[in-house]
Structure 1
Amino acid sequence: MIRRANSWRDLGPGVDATSSFVAPPSPTWGGAYGPPDVPGDTKKDVGEQPIFTTKAHVFQIDSGTKKDWIPASKSSVSVSFYYDSARNTYRIISVDGSKAIVNSTITPNMTFTKTSQKFGQWSDPRANTVYGLGFSSELELTKFIDKFKEIKELTRQAAGLKQGEINGTVENHALSPQPNRQSLHQRTNSLSSIQQNDSGSLRERRNSFTHGGTNGLPANATTETQLKYENDRLKLALAQSSANAKKWEVELQTLKNNNARLTAALQESTANVEEWKKQLAAYKEESVRLKKRLLDQDKGGGDPLMVGQLTDQLERIRLDNHNKQEEIKRLTAQLQDLAVRDGQSSAVQLRIQSLEEENRTLSLRFQDTQRQLQESRSSRDQETRDLLRLQESLGSKITELYETHETIVATMRRESNS
């Protein structure tokens, strides 16, 4: 029989909800379905010995509904991994009689998904279908999954080597963005560099007030230049710190919103779990009661119709019990995820507090630098006024000396003429 899934939640925890192909985790195989006519190579076409072979029931997804499994073999058949040396590819091939029911080329992007204890599936985009394999035991399924991963890694390595041969110079060009990443790292660490060198630069600024500058420049001019440089540098550091703080605040708010949303969902799920636990207890009691009635009916040779109804009801209760247990596991996983997110939110809060403290420290340094710059400008203005007064006094003295000189020269000329 073909089992139809009402929704992706009915398919088991191993099925991706976003996939367009959804199927039941363990379909019933061994029915009266014959294998479909699937074109493709047989084992003789490959011309190689199988790398790995196992026995499994083969299924294909219904191309119309994308939800139902269609058996491709009446019984378990051999499913093998082959290496095609002509095309340098790996394939999964299964042949039932003279028909190739599976001929799938493995690519690095393929994924084999375990959907139940003995069943798994993978999607083949080239064939535009999904294959399913039902194994006799979980151990056989695990072996197949391990071999699938190993072959997929080999295809990934082969694709990488081929890409490297085609684009031999790509690696040299790919290294060029590293200086940009390094400069970005240096800019990110600028705050810590300023904090480490702050004490030394402060001592240098204080010494410059008394010793003056180099290269024969006035001391006040050199000091003002240094203060302007420090002022600009602190402005840049303050802006970077503010931007980082805003970014962390936005991220913290996002985490808080996600945390609140997940907490609400968890509370709702917890309430549902409690309700389901009550229903589960009621189902268990009903199951025990029905089992007892069934035993009584068997002993008393009761009505076969009643026995069948009780058996169906018991099976439905068991199925509901299984679904509730799976839902409880899912909610437990969500609870653990919430705990991890809560820890991340705490770390972000600590980081924001640290950034705010650094921001306040930089603001104080900025104010101190502005005050020193103002004092330096006031001192320079006073010295300029003193120099102007001295220049005026010196000019008047020079004028007097010049007039005295002219008087002496005129007197000497008159005496020499007489």
Structure 2
Amino acid sequence: MLTPYSPLSLSLSLSLSPSLREQPIFTTRAHVFQIDPTTKKNWVPASKQAVTVSYFYDSTRNSYRIISVDGSKVIINSTITPNMTFTKTSQKFGQWADSRANTVFGLGFASEQQLAKFAEKFQEVKEAAKLARDKSQEKTETSSNYSQESGRATPSTNKASSMNGTDDEKISHVPDNTVLKSENDRLKTAIDNSNAKKWETELQALRENNVRLGDTLQEANSSVEKWKTQAAVCQEENTTLKKKISELEVQCKEMNKEKERNAQLTVRVQQLETEIQDKEQELENLRKQAEIIPQLMAECESVSAKLQAAELANKESRGKVATLQGEVEDSRQKHGHMKTELKKFMDVLDGKIDELHEVRQGLSKLGIDN
């Protein structure tokens, strides 16, 4: 999450800047990479995880820097110049080249919005650095012009005075080489003394900053110890979660196997239901055929009645005995044939009923096993 200011960025300002007047102006988090110095093609991770990346502004020098620290290691310390360019190479990755550090830095962000805000800030800082450089050049040119004009005014004044005076006055106004040398030595001594005082002041300021940096470093070390403790706790929690995930994966595998078994049983039940429907259809056909049996029995009874009538007729008319006996013989043969067919049909019907009974028993047993 992007934030304009954070306590960590303040500690970075105290621990990295040469003066306490350098302040953070923008902070974000990203994965830091540096280009491989040998191949100049591959990216080398500079941090194991996302770290804080901050823009700093030095009001004294009117300069901007990008700074990032991973633990106690400084992984980015890049001064922004007007010639630098931040390039978006993907939706969440950007890079810029630092000629002073002789490397290329890359940042991987968690979202496109973070990358866009960082690139926008880079452009703003770059423009500000350009304006600062232009102002510095204007001041330098102004001071240079002023010194040149002052140098030109001095000889003209001497020239005017010499032109207005007598010859003796001209000779008296021209200094000799000894006077010029002594004047130059005096000016050099004054310059050296002023530089010595300046450097003593800077040295004293640096000593004070070193004391403060030492205190800040101690606080940072104590914070690092706390972070290490928290990291150890997080590592333990991570190990516990990994074990739970492994157990859940084993349970999921068992559940998947059980689902496969249930799917196989479902398919088997569907097959058995299909077979039962086929058997019921066969049974229905047999029932329809069994409905013809009463008609056959009726025919048999009628034949028997005819036989009896024939026997009575045989008593009454012996002359018709031979004919009636033939008819009776034929009727008996038909009757025997019909009984045989009926017996076969009953045997087939009994077999089908037994098969249907076995199928129902198997289905009932399968339902009990499930």
Normalising by structure 2, we get a TM-score of: 0.34
- Structure number with greater Rg is 2
Normalising by structure 1, we get a TM-score of: 0.30
> Hey, which of these two has a bigger chunk of helix by percent?
2
